[in-house]
Amino acid sequence: MNNSLNIPKKQKLTKKGQETRSRIIVAAAELMYEQGVARTTIEDVQNKAKISASQMYHYFKEKKELVLEVISYQTSRVIGTHTRYLSNLDSFEALYAWRDFIVNIQIKRNCEGGCPLGSLASELVEINSDAQQEIMSSFFEWEDSIKKGLRYMLNHGELNSDADPDKLALALLAALQGGLLLTQVRRDPTPIIVALDTMIEHIISFKKV
C-alpha cells in the first residue's frame, strides 16, 4: 500500500496540498486496515503521516470524512487491480490467472488482513450510514467488473446459453469474500483456494462444447 495514485485530486489545493492530503489518506487506510477503524485515532494518523494537528484539521475536520476517503481509496485500489484481470476474460485460463493473483496476495501477506473492503464493510455498515452507502457502491462496482468479464466469456462463445453471468458473478464475489475471511481466520490459503476453485469449476460446467 505504498502509492497514492488512486486518490482523486481535490479542487483548490496546491500540488503540495494534494500530496499532503494523499499522504493522510494512505496513512489512515494502512492504520485502519491493520487495527480497524474504531481503534484508529486522528492522532495515530497524524503521527503516521508526520503532520501537525492543525494541518490535519485543515484537510479533515472530522474522522468521518477521512473514513469516507479511505473507503474510496481502497475501492479504487481493489477494483483497479482486479479489473486488470477481469476486463477481458476470454478464456478459463484467464479466470485461473485472476484466481492465482488473489491467492498469491494472501500467501505473500501470510494470510493476514483479509479483504480491505470486506473489513471496512463488516466494521462500518451497521454504525455509519454514509459509509454503508459508499461500501455498497464499491461492491456493486466490483460485482459489475466480474459480471462484465463473465458476459464477455458468454458473448465470445466460452460459456453456453444456460450460464447466467450476473448470478455467477455475484456468487463468485461472495465466494471470494467468504474465502478471504476464512483464510484470514485460519492463517491458511486453503479456504480462498477451495472457495474460488469450486466456483470456477461450477462456471466451467457451463463451458460451450
**What residues line the site for a copy of itself (CB under 8 A)?**
34-36, 38-39, 112-114, 118-119, 121-123, 125-127, 132, 135-136, 139, 167-168, 170-171, 173-179, 181-182, 184-187, 190-192, 194-195, 198-199, 201-202, 205
Residue 167: Cβ within 10 Å count: 11
C-alpha 40/C-alpha 56 separation (Å) is 14
- Closer by beta carbon to a copy of itself, 20 or else 138: 138
Residue 203 · residue 169 · CB < 8 Å: no
3-state DSSP assignment of residue 129 = helix
State in angstroms the smallest separation of the CB of 104 from a copy of itself: 18
Phi, psi of 61 (to 5 degrees): -75, -30
Nearer to a copy of itself, 21 or 147 (CB): 147
- Gap between the Cα atoms of 37 and 156, Å rounded: 43
Name the nearest CA neighbour of 21 among 8, 31, 35, 34. Answer: 8
Cβ proximity to a copy of itself: between 15 and 126 the closer is 126
Q: Which is nearer to a copy of itself, 18 or 132 (CB)?
A: 132
Closest separation between CB of residue 35 and a copy of itself, Å? 6
Kindly tell me which of 19 and 112 has the beta carbon lying closer to a copy of itself. 112
Give me the helix-helix angle, 165-186 and 190-204, nearest 10°. Answer: 160
